[in-house]
A = this chain, B = another copy of it.
Amino acid sequence: MRRREYLGQLELMVLLAVMRPRGDAYGVLIARDIADKSGREVALASVYAALERLEHKGFLTSSLGQPTAERGGKARTYFKATATGVREAREAHATLLRLSADLPALQVETA
């Protein structure tokens, strides 16, 4: 089976987290962001794996940060979404919205 050409679930979540305007997206923070917003624990290894896939597909770029952490620790790798990545996220997002539109059972938070 060849590689999927569309975003998987965690990939979408990670990409959206990277797209936050904060501009300091890195592994651990992304995982925390997803955990906060989804209420589900996400394994760090999964996030890193997804980041790698996304970069490999050209949806993200990475850059090694300065080791300027307050108290020790390895330097962070920061991620940024590419234009292609943004487009991709938009499409995946739109698809889910289409699938969930006009579903009375879902109309709770939209009201």
A8 CA / B93 CA spacing, docked (Å)? 15
Nearest-Cβ distance from residue A12 to partner chain B, whole angstroms: 8
Kindly identify, within residues 1 to 23 of chain A, every residue whose CB is under 8 Å from any CB belonging to chain B.
5-6, 8-9, 12-13, 16-17, 19-21
Contact of A95 among B8, B39, B93 (CB under 8 A): B39
How big is chain A's contact interface, by range? 35 or more
Closest B residue to A40 using CB positions = B6
Interface 0/1 of A87-111, CB less than 8 Å to B: 0011101111111101111101100
Are B21 and A104 neighbours in the complex by a CB distance under 8 Å?
yes
Are B100 and A93 neighbours in the complex by a CB distance under 8 Å?
yes
CB-CB under 8 A for A105 and B93, given A34-B99, A99-B16, A100-B16: no
Residues of B within 8 A of A40 (CB): 5-6
Contact of A37 among B5, B6, B38, B98 (CB under 8 A): B98
CB-CB under 8 A for A94 and B81, given A6-B40, A99-B34, A103-B16: no
